[in-house]
Amino acid sequence: MAEQPVMLIVDDVETNRVILSQFFQEEYAIRMAANGQEAWEIVCQESVQIVLADLVMPVMDGYALLAMMKKDERTASIPVIVMTGHSDSDSEVRAMEMGAADFITKPYNPTVVRYRVRNVMARLENEWRKLEQAASDRQLMQVNRSVERDQLTDLYNRESFYRHAARLMQEHMEEQYDIIYLDVSCFKVVNDLFRMETGNIVLKTAGYYFKAVAGGTGIVGRLEADHFAICLPADQLDMDQFIAGLDGAVQSLGISHNILFYAGVYPVEDQFLPVDQMCDRARMALERVRGSYIRRYSYYDKSMREQMLEEQMLVRDMEFGLQDHQFRIFLQPVYNLHTGHVVSAEALVRWQHPTSGLVSPGKFIPLFERNGFIVRLDRFVWEEACRNLRRQLDEFGTVVPISANVSRLNFYNEGLLAYMLSLIEKYELEPWMLKLEVTETAYTENPQQLCSAIQEFQAHGFKILMDDFGSGYSSLNMLKNLPVDILKIDMGFVSDIEKDGRASVIMEQVVHMARLLGMEIVVEGVETKPQIDFLDKIGCEQIQGYYFAKPMAEADFAQLLIDDRK
């Protein structure tokens, strides 16, 4: 029989320890401590998998215990869920910033406590799996790489930078430090236009410059690709001079392309905060200015901190939200312009959060794409779409096909086609009933793999749509190479038709080319009568947008289909 994982419960009130132990005694071997000092001795002596610690205790409180555990390499990876007797947002924020995995208030709700512990352990297991996969992918590269240094630039690699930067700041507690996160705008274009050797020269030149700026008082690392990080005393940093000097170093290479670095700066407030989180905050600041020609750097501020806390809340609640049916699909119909009938629909996910209300997809979709949860959310949407299709068949004997998005992460899953076919079989559907939408981002990142996957799906009867065409850097090359069945033209084209003659010409020619390539056309984001008249004139039949209908709940969509059949 496998040995049970160990849970440590830390609370100066024995009754609380006993109550919590009863929740988990079947899943965990329980250890108990009456204060932080006793808990510290236990985690140093035993292999503990998770700690539940009260914030207010004698001898050593929960904050001090958390700080000690995150500082020590032996215990830094152990997740700590903190507890308090009252709801206090300041306490929660402080604990989360110190590295707490979650926050529980008393009195305890057994179901909520169990779910939160399971969510924390599930996230931990997911992180380990991702690390194992990343380690496997990098194995061949690491044969030719030293333990600490990036071979190309001779800077610290990611893990070494984190470790050395943390040590530097904690050994100089009296000093104020900044973390600078940098990357190159459109670096892939540099490699495409020139040779990879040219891109490498840019990275090495930047690395030399960063080391010169850091001198003997800072730490520099190449985190990955064209992403760098610097830990530097704040009084040594003048960002205007720093960017100007970096531009001069790159321009001295004589490359006939405007290569620009962008930077985000995080002024360090707590030297014991994990350095990877410091870099995340600096990266958030960078995102504010990426692509701008006016501002090349930005400082992390309060609004970004609020965004980070909101994202932490969403990550904390996502597992329970999926299990608690807080996510649901809305359907936005696609109409035939000439008949006025519904010909298909798009499944869109919504999150009805119990305390935050309806969360915008713009907030949780990018977050879930970064942390990988989008893979599971996609599967939820596909299954809900299949349920709806089955209900249509049972009620009407026919179906209006439904399209659903397939995130780029899912295309890296070799079992994707088998899973889709199993859904079709489970609900006794035909593959053409569930259309699959891909984005141009997935194509630009890995065109060969995407094309291969699309052809496999088409061979089994699925219809593939290219979503949001025109929203990014859509190219004729993509139209030529990507074998999609249906092209969804982005609302950005449509919105400019009434005021921009060039947009009208481009739109008309894209439609013409798509027809010659054997593709169907769906125009999304249509909102006005003049847009309808123009689309009718150039022969577009399938229209989606607020002019006809907004995304609606499944019950409303079912009634719409009933009315449409009258």
- Enter the tokens of residue 397: 């004997």
pLDDT number for residue 258: 76
Identify the band that residue 318 occupies on the pLDDT scale cut at 50, 70 and 90. Answer: very high
Residue pair 126/118 in contact (Cβ under 8 Å)? The answer is no
Across 132-141, 260-269, 355-364, least confident range? 132-141
Question: Is the predicted pLDDT of residue 170 greater than 80, yes or no?
Answer: yes
Which pLDDT does position 447 carry in this prediction?
74
pLDDT, one tens digit per residue, over 431-483 is: 999 999 987 767 666 677 788 888 999 999 999 998 877 665 555 667 777 78
pLDDT greater at residue 566 or residue 315: 315
**Highest mean pLDDT of the ranges 234-248, 282-296, 505-519:** 234-248
Supply the pLDDT for residue 185: 75
pLDDT at 142 over 60: no
Please give the pLDDT value at position 496: 61
Is residue 144 predicted with pLDDT exceeding 50?
no
Tokens at residue 19, please?
């109550």
pLDDT at 303: 82
Q: What is the pLDDT of residue 137?
A: 62
* Overall average pLDDT of the 33-38 stretch: 92
- Answer whether residue 552 shows pLDDT above 50: yes
Distance CA 350, CA 547 (A): 21
| Cα 511 to Cα 84, 492, 506, 537, distances in angstroms | 61, 15, 9, 12
* Contact residues for 20 (Cβ-Cβ < 8 A; gap 6+): 9, 11, 52, 108, 113
DSSP-based helix, strand, coil % in the chain, nearest 5: 50, 20, 30
190/300 Cα distance (integer angstroms): 28
The pLDDT value given to residue 356: 87
Task: Quote the CA–CA distance of 227 and 157 in Å, as a whole number.
Answer: 11
Return d(Cα 268, Cα 278) in angstroms, integer: 7
Most confident segment among 178-192, 413-427, 507-521: 413-427
pLDDT score at 458: 93
Are 312 and 528 in contact by the 8 Å Cβ rule? The answer is no
Q: Would the pLDDT of 143 be above 60?
A: no
Tokens of 238: 């003048």
Would you give the DSSP letter of residue 538? T
Residues belonging to the chain: 566
The pLDDT, as a whole number, for residue 245 is 94
pLDDT at residue 141 tops 60: no
What token pair was written down for 363?
A: 């907030």
Residue 402 near residue 345, CB atoms below 8 Å = yes
CB atoms within 10 A of CB 551: 18
**Phi-psi region for residue 463, left (φ > 0), alpha (ψ -120 to 50) or beta?**
beta
Out of 484-488, 496-500, 503-507, least confident range: 496-500
User: Which positions ≥6 away from 265 have C-beta within 8 Å?
Assistant: 178, 179, 180, 181, 237, 239, 282, 285, 297, 298, 299, 300
Residue 412 CB coordination number (10 Å):
14
What is the C-alpha separation between 520 and 499, in angstroms, rounded?
26
Residues 492, 511 contacting (CB under 8 angstroms): no
pLDDT per residue over 49-87, tens digit each? 899 988 888 989 989 999 999 888 888 889 999 888 766
Helix 374-396 / helix 416-426 crossing angle, nearest 10 deg: 30
Preceding omega of 551 cis (within 30 degrees of 0): no
pLDDT at 113 (0 to 100): 83
Distance CA 475, CA 329 (A): 31
Residues with Cβ within 8 Å of 62's Cβ and at least 6 positions away in sequence, in order, are: 10, 36, 53, 54, 55, 56, 82, 83, 95
Higher pLDDT, 160 or 443: 160
Residue 519 CA, chain-centre distance (Å), reads 31
Q: Could you give the CA distance from residue 343 to residue 486 in angstroms, rounded to a whole number?
A: 13
Distance CA 504, CA 496 (A): 8
pLDDT digits 0-9 by tens, 111-133: 888 888 888 888 877 777 776 67
Q: Are 54 and 62 in contact (CB under 8 A)?
A: yes
47 close to 35: Cβ distance less than 8 angstroms:
no
E-strand ranges in 69-186 read 80-84, 102-105, 177-184
Mean pLDDT of 39-45: 91
In DSSP notation, 315-348 reads HHHHHHHHHTT-EEEEEEEEEETTT--EEEEEEE
Average pLDDT score over residue span 264-274: 93
**pLDDT cut 70: percent of the chain above it:** 90
Q: What is the model's pLDDT at position 238?
A: 94
Segment 493-507 shows an average pLDDT of 71
CB atoms within 10 A of CB 158: 17
Over residues 348-382, the pLDDT tens digits come to: 999 999 988 999 898 899 888 878 899 999 999 99
- The mean pLDDT value of the chain amounts to 86
